[in-house]
Amino acid sequence: ALFESVCAFFTPKRLAGRKVVITAGPTFEAIDPVRGITNSSSGKMGYAIATACVRAGAEVVLVSGPVMLPAPLGVRRVSVSSALQMRDAVFAALPGADVFIGVAAVADYRPVQAAEHKIKKSGASISIDLTPNPDILAEVAGGPNAPFCVGFAAESRDLDGYAEGKRRSKRLPLLVGNLVADGLGGDDNTVILYDDAGKHPLPRAAKPVIAERIVEHLASLLPAGAGQLQA
Amino acid sequence: ALFESVCAFFTPKRLAGRKVVITAGPTFEAIDPVRGITNSSSGKMGYAIATACVRAGAEVVLVSGPVMLPAPLGVRRVSVSSALQMRDAVFAALPGADVFIGVAAVADYRPVQAAEHKIKKSGASISIDLTPNPDILAEVAGGPNAPFCVGFAAESRDLDGYAEGKRRSKRLPLLVGNLVADGLGGDDNTVILYDDAGKHPLPRAAKPVIAERIVEHLASLLPAGAGQLQA
């Protein structure tokens, strides 16, 4: 706590007076009472960004999927499991937000139906029908009076192509891209920032260091003045 | 470490000279490089049993799925991800084992094929074909010179029926049953032990306490003499 206070004291208050809503972690899409579809996101990147935003003076709401991390000091955490729950929590937190940062690895699909009781094993093959989940970031970015939206893209190949495609189709002013092998679940990451000015690769570093750089960059792109931005 | 040593000193050495192989945690069955099917097992029960076995004087190999727990002192941990990897690691550890305790919540099914690259989202519904995983416990219990095998059953209903059915079909001398709502992922558990003498409910307690009781019970059922048991 003392360390946090000292760090916060020496960090420029680039986000003073701003409200930031962040999603982090995986989502868990239930198949039955015990099984589900998830991904290997650890939540570390989103939690590091939440910490960096608090240090920069922001009011932070962290909507988190199931992870094993403690809530960062000074952050209001809302814990959720599925993508539908995450969407509800995000829209509940959004009024008055200046910035939305979608770091969570939200499951793209969920089982059409979750079984009420544990599915018993049989020798036969089975199949699970999946339906697309809502795209929380696209909904936030496309809404009226949208906050400044930052997206994340973890890809296994062709990062530039997918990242710029995602940034343009969702009309995001800033997108953070990384290769899955470089970051997912680990302590370090190698990321590239994509914005209207182009591509800005950051040197490989620990996630808290990367998070500080991302927050600095995002703060530099924010229009002056507190309060909600115009869409 | 001092606390562990003191506890170990005062615990009767019921498993001295015995080798115990334990599985713990969930398995993660890859759909693509980031997504997969898993379950909400935390690994706490299996890790607590591994600790209790070490205290009771056993040599312990812990084959663990992906969890956020440190390896217990004195345990040899082998980390795996999928059920197929878990089976390989169990059979590699099995020679010379007196006891096998299958605590892991092994995924019953895995995707027929894991995609090499991240599946891109589209607006359409999709389905995933699943094929049954091997039943590691049944394979171990049914093998030649099988060790003393202990199974676990987490059910969402009709615990007695499913537990006794599982114990008989796999020919297990001991099975630990619990209701999903009582234990999965949490710190406490309420379990019932099923053996040839019948049903033995244990009072609700923290997982380390439950683990000590299970190990005591299992040690009382073990035939005298070190070395591998006859099937």
Q: What CATH code is carried by the domain that includes residue B25?
A: 3.40.50.10300
Single out the residue of B135, B148, B159 nearest to residue B215, CA to CA: B148
Domain assignment present for B231: no
Alpha helices in chain A, H assignment, sequence order: 2-10, 44-55, 83-93, 136-142, 159-169, 180-183, 207-221
Residue B227 placed within a domain: no
The answer to the question of residue B118 being in a domain is no
Residue window 61-80, chain A: list those with CB within 8 Å of chain B: 68
Burial class (CB in 10 A: 0-12, 13-18, 19+), B211: buried
Interface with chain B: mutation pick from A41, A45, A67, A109, highest number of B CBs within 10 Å: A109
Least confident of A97-101, A159-163, B11-15, B150-154: B11-15
B117: nearest CB among A108, A126, A157 = A157
In a domain, residue B138? The reply is yes
Q: What is the CA radius of gyration of chain A?
A: 18
Helix (H, G, I), strand (E, B), or coil: what is residue A225? coil
**Residue B197 at interface with chain A, using a CB cutoff of 8 Å:** no
Establish if B10 touches chain A: CB-CB under 8 angstroms: no
- Judge: A127–B130 Cβ closer than 8 Å, yes or no: yes
Domain that holds residue A103: 2-112+130-221
- Give the pLDDT score at B174: 97
The region of weakest confidence among A49-58, A125-134, A168-177, B87-96 is A125-134
Q: pLDDT tens digit string along A74-133?
A: 999 999 999 999 999 999 999 999 999 999 999 999 999 888 887 777 778 888 899 999
Burial A15-29 (b: 16+ CB within 10 A, else e): beebbbbbbbbbbbb
Does residue B122 lie within any of the structural domains? no
B33-48 confidence digits (pLDDT tens):
888 999 888 899 999 9
In a domain? residue A185: yes
**How many domains are contained in chain B?**
1
Instruction: Kindly determine whether residue B36 and residue A34, on different chains, have CB atoms separated by under 8 Å.
Output: no
Does residue B229 lie within any of the structural domains? Answer: no
A13, part of any domain = yes
Q: Does the active-site annotation cover B39? A: yes
Mean pLDDT of all residues in B56-73: 95
> ipTM for the complex?
0.72
Number of other residues whose CB lies within 10 A of the CB of residue B213? 17
**Does the CB of A30 have a partner CB in chain B at under 8 Å?**
no
Chain segment B99-123, per-residue pLDDT in tens:
999 999 999 999 998 888 877 777 7
Distance between A171 CA and the closest CA of chain B, angstroms = 18
Closest Cβ opposite residue B34 in set A40, A117, A131: A40
